[in-house]
Amino acid sequence: MSLQGMMRTSTSGMNAQASRLSSISDNIANSSTTGYKGSSVSFSDLVLSSNGGNYSSGSVNSITSYAISEQGALTSTTSATDLAIKGTGFFIVQDTGGSIFLTRDGSFKVDSSGQLVNSSGYTLLGYPATNGSAAIVNGFSGLAPVKATQSGLSAQASSSGVINANLDSTATAVTTAVTPRDIGSNPSATVNDVKYTNSTSVVTYDSLGNAVQVDLYFTKTAANKYQVTAFNHANASTTSGSFPYSSGPMETSPVDLTFDPTSGKLTSSSPNSMTIPIPGGQNVKLDLSSTTQFAYKFGVSSAKVDGNAPSTISSVSIGQDGKISAVFSNGSTKNLYQIAMAKVQSPDNLTPVSGNAFSLSNAAGTVVVGFGGDGNFGTINANQLEQSNVDVATELTDMIESQRSYTANSKAFQTASDLMDVLVNLKR
């Protein structure tokens, strides 16, 4: 073995340990960085061919790897826009130049334009609710900066509803009087002329958020048969609060419910919904499929119609699937965006970039886009942050080990240097 080879080998050993110490320093410095993924340095030997009895010393190569796929601990926060991923996947973000990256840093805050931006300045991307939140699984097309606010007032016209009611099977059928449906062809009829079995009302909303009360009348016309008729309460008599109405029924077509005499439920041939045009709004489809006919008094167990009056946003909620919903002061909600997530086949081979983010690489594999909780994607937890996956105790232990190895290599270098001095001094 040549003395120069010994010195080169020792130098490569010191360089390798210096790389390891640099990695350890980075890990310790970022042990409190949200979503930080620790790095490590491993070694491999480089062997040179030896001739006869002469040994040719080689060197050591340092290889840096990242524990990107290793989950960090989740801690609770008080901010609803702090997000943590429990399981696999990454948030999709972009920088100010529009370049797209992946990150596990969910320390998002609302900026001046309403967008969610994390502590490193990356803007969160997702799909607007108006686009149906359909993910394009093999690319980033359709993604837009996520906004967690909505300025001004918001109103939503009603489009659908459901009512669950029981109609008394023992009620007497109306056969000789004018029914609510007949009133449209008999404008001279008074409130005393109209007979029906039961009534209730539901509130709907037009496109401007005006409340439109719809009065529903249920009239038993024969055994196991009920008429359902809707009227606009605004057209009701100011004296009686009901009939006579100034205009006829609202439904687009007659609704005659037919019940099975044995089960008390609607038959397969019976209508199970009715369509009601709302003035200044749109058609509301009212689901009646859960209506029953049992020998019990009339009652509505539940009724719900979508839409809302003008209201301001009081808060924002984020679900585990990444859906961002605005919660209005009147208690109603509206979907705004759905946060997109990405995963790759080999996340440990992503390329780290500044700001605790990662760029795609060929070694990482093809990117797949989806939503929290779908497939193999993890869930998104609001009011939580993922901590660094660095174990400081382990890093300090590795530092001591690396320091000793560096010192040992420096001693080998010093020995070779001393021997070189002896060799040079032989000439004297």
Q: Is the pLDDT confidence value at 73 over 80? A: yes
Q: Is the pLDDT confidence value at 53 over 70? A: no
**Whole-structure pTM value:** 0.66
Q: Is the pLDDT confidence value at 129 over 70? A: yes
**pLDDT tens track for 195-216:** 999 999 999 999 888 999 999 9
CA atoms within 13 A on the CB side of 129: 13
pLDDT at 184: 60
Q: Is the pLDDT confidence value at 178 over 90? A: no
Q: Is the pLDDT confidence value at 122 over 90? A: yes
**pLDDT tens track for 357-370:** 999 999 999 999 99
8 Å CB contact between 230 and 276 = yes
Give the model's confidence band at 409: pLDDT under 50 very low, under 70 low, under 90 confident, else very high.
Answer: confident
Question: Taking residues 256-263, what's their average pLDDT?
Answer: 97
Question: Taking residues 64-88, what's their average pLDDT?
Answer: 94
Question: Taking residues 127-154, what's their average pLDDT?
Answer: 78
Give the model's confidence band at 42: pLDDT under 50 very low, under 70 low, under 90 confident, else very high.
Answer: confident
Give the model's confidence band at 37: pLDDT under 50 very low, under 70 low, under 90 confident, else very high.
Answer: very high
User: CATH topology for 155-310?
Assistant: Tick-borne Encephalitis virus Glycoprotein; domain 1 (2.60.98)
**Domain map of the chain by residue range?**
3-70+389-425, 91-152+313-386, 155-310
Give the model's confidence band at 59: pLDDT under 50 very low, under 70 low, under 90 confident, else very high.
Answer: confident
Q: Is the pLDDT confidence value at 190 over 80? A: no
Q: Is the pLDDT confidence value at 150 over 90? A: no
Give the model's confidence band at 288: pLDDT under 50 very low, under 70 low, under 90 confident, else very high.
Answer: very high
Of 29-43, 148-162, 341-355, the range with the lowest mean pLDDT is 148-162
